[in-house]
Amino acid sequence: MTEQPYALELDHLVMHFGPVRAVDDVSLALRRGQVTALVGESGSGKSTVGKCILRLLEPTSGVVRIAGTDVTHLSRRELRWHRSDVSIVFQDPAGSLDPRMLVGDIVGEPLRLSGRRISSRDRQARISEELGRVGLRAEVAQRYPHELSGGQRQRVSIARALISNPSLLIADEPTSALDVSVQASVLNLLADLQRDMEFACLFITHDLSAVEYLADDIAVMYLGQLVEKGSRERIFSSPAHPYTQALLAAAPIADPVRQREREAVLLGDDLPSALDPPSGCRFRTRCPLAFDRCATEVPAHIGIGDGDAACHLVHPDGTRPDVRRPADKEALR
């Protein structure tokens, strides 16, 4: 039997909260052992996708497959056996760790919930091993979360997520609540663990510098929909969708000379409401290249290189718009 090549597949995933269309028709596949970054502004639906994968939210429609198994309609009892294969690290370690539990009990909780029999000695050994793997001493197991720093608490969260050796990790803005001084160390830890354990990772973030460091592939999300997918190299070197171009143009770079020479990309208005998204292309109300067709027709995903982009100005021959040069728009229609 051929091994399932994907750790995760989303097929037309939809999540509506009443009239709010938080996630609208998202399809995405994560290869085994690879890191895919899901990027976009706050309110784009990124975290909602992650919670639907774990069924912390029940999708309105669509299919979630983990290692080839459709988990969308599994019973709670059936789902428990699959939960050991997928874990999540949340944005705020202080809010995701029970303050009444010792760190050792928090890290070992997935072993207890899995239903698999394990002796107390083996459990304690696994907890100590996992704490060591994330750079914490074994005695931390006897402390409470409030006794630790923010970076240490996030390391506890990572230890808890990985103690069951999952094939898929959802990392939901894992460094955004941390001090800048410790963000890099946590990112380095995630990169080392991912390389050593070879789990697939959906890295949800708005930090493009972290994406460039950690991700193999990138999926760009805007107002509940995916607008572009591709390898990290292709997205950073030649982004196709105007929104992707705008995100990259707004991201700071370390070289002050290059930073001063960059052309600014100004987006009109704030992110529209998912309660009443724009017709046609959802990005059109902020896009400097929008024209009449954008208001009436939803753009199809056009294959380009190693991915695709949903924009009327993208062509299969590789021609793409450039938001820094609006004059090119007429030639691309």
Q: Under 8 Å CB-to-CB from 277, ≥6 apart: which residues?
A: 21, 24, 223, 224
Name which of 203, 150, 158, 210 is nearest 177 in CA terms: 150
Say how far apart CA 88 and CA 53 lie, in whole Å: 10
Residues 205 and 246 in one domain: no
**Any domain includes 67:** yes
> 114 lies in which domain range?
1-215
Q: Is the dihedral of CA 259, 261, 262, 264 positive or negative?
A: positive
Per cent of the chain over pLDDT 70 is 90
The CATH number of residue 111's host domain is 3.40.50.300
Mean pLDDT, range 319-329, rounded to an integer: 63
Determine contact, residues 13/59, Cβ cutoff 8 Å: yes
Looking at the structure of the chain, the number of domains it has is 2
Residue 258 has pLDDT above 60, yes or no: no
pLDDT at position 255: 55
49 shares its domain with 181:
yes
Is residue 256 over pLDDT 90? no
Across 180-294, where does the E strand assignment appear?
200-205, 217-222, 225-231
Q: Are 229 and 47 in contact (CB under 8 A)?
A: no
Q: Is there a single domain that holds both residue 203 and residue 111?
A: yes
Q: Is the pLDDT of residue 47 over 90?
A: yes
pLDDT for 192 beyond 90: yes
pLDDT above 50: residue 327: no
Comparison of pLDDT for 173 and 260, the residue scoring more: 173
- Do 296 and 198 have their domain in common? no
**Using CB atoms within 10 A of its CB, is residue 283 exposed (0-12), middle (13-18) or buried (19+)?**
buried
Let me know if residue 292 belongs to a domain: yes
Q: Which residue has the higher pLDDT, 294 or 265?
A: 294
Q: 155 with 37, same domain? A: yes
Looking at the structure, tell me whether residues 173 and 279 fall in a common domain: no
Distance, in Å, from the CA atom of 249 to the CA atom of 222, rounded to the nearest integer, reads 16
Indicate whether 207 and 248 sit together in one domain.
Answer: no
- With beta carbons less than 8 A apart as the criterion, state whether 138 and 105 touch: no
User: Residue 106: pLDDT above 90?
Assistant: yes
Decide if 55 is inside a domain.
yes
Q: How far is CA 293 from CA 233, 289, 333, in A?
A: 30, 11, 10
182 and 267 fall within a common domain? no
Residue 228, domain member (yes or no): no
Is residue 197 domain-shared with residue 250, that is, in the same domain? no
Phi, psi of 62 (to 5 degrees): 100, 180
Q: What is the pLDDT of residues 74-98, one digit of tens each?
A: 888 787 777 778 999 998 888 889 9
- Domain co-membership, 245 together with 180: no
Neighbours of 149 (CB within 10 A): 12
Under 8 Å between Cβ of 82 and 71: yes
To the question of pTM greater than 0.85 for the whole model, the response is yes
Domain assignment present for 225: no
Q: Do 198 and 249 have their domain in common? A: no
- Mean predicted lDDT score pLDDT of the chain: 89
Which whole number is the average pLDDT over 211-239? 96
pLDDT band, very low/low/confident/very high, at 112 (cuts 50, 70, 90) = confident
For 321, how many CA atoms within 13 A lie in the half-sphere containing its CB? 25
Radius of gyration of the chain (CA): 21
Per-residue pLDDT at 84: 76
> How does pLDDT run across 115-173, given as a tens digit for each residue?
677 888 999 999 999 999 999 999 999 999 999 999 999 999 999 999 999 999 999 99
Residue 227 lies in a domain: no
Let me know if residue 230 belongs to a domain.
no
**Percent of the chain beyond pLDDT 90?**
71
Q: What is the pLDDT of residue 254?
A: 55
> Is residue 232 domain-resident?
no
- Mean pLDDT confidence for 264-280: 82
Do 62 and 8 belong to one domain?
yes
